[in-house]
């Protein structure tokens, strides 16, 4: 159902009318110093692609590349963090594979189920939908500030807590309300992944900058220039299809291109469902921010 031709977050293979397999993998180098947190973030990030399709992950395999000289207690904590996050998601880690490398890398191969009739996709947006984000932005600049030894401990903890948060409830909420358009915000940034959705759906996105949420330290680290190389790559690749209001300064523009790790879901919610959707989100303590709407046209306009 979904493969190399589609821009979606995972491969999908139909088993029957009621079930399809969702298959994905992701892994990356450490974004934080704490080994347990790194493992948990990597696992949450890997499972996010299944949630972004409206699926339920159930099985995973570890993928790890570890240096010879890495102390056993560190590698064990990485695996431990991933295992506990998987257990929180109701996912069984049934094995995996490890190779030697000079820099640690960790993630998961994840398999889930999805009802083919309720699947989310990047091409599912409709004109008039409200655009809803389920996690704030700013993880990239904050973790880059950590690498440059410029981060405040409270700012880092805020980012880590968000990155470790599963997109499970957000995904279940989307399926409960019959949404069709969704993705998760990761390395291509809000604007990059938003453009993928706009292109796949044949629509334009209108975002309101003042409604876009950021974690506490994001602006501070933006002013210090704590952007990873991926932010500049995103800007170079996507900016031609993005119109930004003149009032948005350079730091805030770059924050919109900031790569995220284990970011939230971006969902299209039909206007007639928005009030009930928001009320239900509050009931289950799932944060949601209304950041814009879907319009006719192409590209993204940020006012």
CB 113 within 8 Å of CB 21: yes
Can you give the pLDDT at residue 28? Answer: 95
Bridge-partner residues for 114, per DSSP? Answer: 20
Average pLDDT score over residue span 266-282: 98
Tokens of 220: 């501070």
How many angstroms from the chain centroid is the CA of residue 115?
Answer: 21
φ/ψ bin of 100: left (φ > 0), alpha (ψ from -120 to 50), beta (otherwise): beta
Residue with tokens 């890997």: 46
CB 125 within 8 Å of CB 179: no
7 has a pLDDT exceeding 90: no
CA distance 297 to 190: 19
CA distance 43 to 86: 7
CA distance 131 to 11: 24
Sign of the C-alpha dihedral computed for residues 28, 36, 9 and 250 taken in this order = negative
Question: 272: helix, coil or strand?
Answer: helix
CB 20 within 8 Å of CB 14: yes
CB 22 within 8 Å of CB 114: yes
Q: What is the pLDDT of residues 25-76, one digit of tens each?
A: 999 999 999 999 999 999 999 999 999 999 999 999 999 999 999 999 999 9
Q: Please, what's the b/e burial string for 217-234 (b: 16 or more CB within 10 A of its CB; e: otherwise)?
A: bbebbbebebbbebbebb
Residue with tokens 């998601």: 89
Q: What is the pLDDT of residues 215-259, one digit of tens each?
A: 999 999 999 999 999 999 999 999 999 999 999 999 999 999 999
For 286, the enclosing helix (H) or strand (E) is: none
Can you give the pLDDT at residue 49? Answer: 95
CA distance 265 to 184: 4
- As a residue count, the chain comes to 303
**Mean pLDDT for all residues in the chain:** 97
CA distance 265 to 253: 20
214 has a pLDDT exceeding 90: yes
Sign of the C-alpha dihedral computed for residues 145, 147, 148 and 152 taken in this order = positive
Percent of the chain predicted with pLDDT > 70: 100
Going from the N-terminus, what domains does the chain have, and what CATH number goes with each?
11-117 (3.30.1330.10), 120-302 (3.90.650.10)
9 has a pLDDT exceeding 90: no
Tally DSSP H helices, then E strands, for the chain. 10, 12
CA distance 42 to 104: 12
CB 217 within 8 Å of CB 153: no
Can you give the pLDDT at residue 145? Answer: 97
CA distance 283 to 275: 13
Alpha helices in 53-150 (DSSP H): 72-89, 139-147
Q: What is the pLDDT of residues 70-102, one digit of tens each?
A: 999 999 999 999 999 999 999 999 999 999 999
Residue whose C-alpha is closest to residue 176's, from 85, 279, 88: 279
Label residue 6 by pLDDT band (50, 70, 90). confident
197 has a pLDDT exceeding 90: yes
Q: What is the pLDDT of residues 157-193, one digit of tens each?
A: 999 999 999 999 999 999 999 999 999 999 999 999 9
């Amino acid at each position: 159902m979904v493969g190399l031709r589609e821009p979606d977050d995972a491969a999908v293979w139909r088993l029957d009318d009621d079930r399809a397999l969702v298959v994905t993998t992701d892994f990356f180098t450490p974004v934080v110093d704490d080994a347990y947190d790194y493992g948990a973030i990597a696992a949450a990030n890997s499972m996010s692609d299944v949630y972004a399709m409206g699926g339920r992950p159930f099985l995973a395999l570890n993928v790890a590349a570890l240096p010879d000289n890495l102390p056993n207690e560190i590698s064990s904590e990485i695996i431990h963090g991933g295992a506990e996050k998987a257990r929180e998601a109701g996912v069984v880690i049934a094995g995996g594979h490890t190779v030697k490398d000079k820099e640690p890398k960790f993630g998961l191969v994840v398999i889930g189920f999805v009802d083919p009739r309720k699947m989310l996709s990047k091409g599912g947006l409709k004109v008039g939908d409200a655009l809803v984000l389920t996690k704030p932005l700013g993880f990239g600049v904050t973790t880059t500030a950590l690498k440059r030894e410029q981060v405040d401990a409270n700012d880092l903890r805020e980012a880590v807590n968000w990155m470790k948060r599963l997109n499970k409830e957000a995904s279940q909420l989307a399926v409960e309300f019959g949404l069709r358009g969704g993705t998760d915000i990761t390395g291509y940034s809000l604007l990059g992944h938003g453009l993928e959705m706009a292109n796949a759906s044949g629509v334009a996105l209108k975002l309101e900058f003042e409604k876009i949420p950021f974690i506490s330290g994001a602006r501070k680290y933006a002013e210090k220039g704590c952007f990873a190389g991926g932010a500049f790559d995103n800007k170079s690749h996507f900016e031609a299809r993005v119109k930004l209001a003149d009032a948005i300064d350079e730091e805030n523009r770059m924050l919109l291109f900031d790569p995220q790790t284990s970011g939230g879901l971006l969902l299209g919610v039909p206007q007639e469902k928005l009030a009930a959707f928001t009320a239900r989100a509050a009931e289950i303590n799932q944060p949601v921010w209304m950041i814009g709407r879907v319009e006719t046209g192409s590209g993204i306009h940020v006012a």
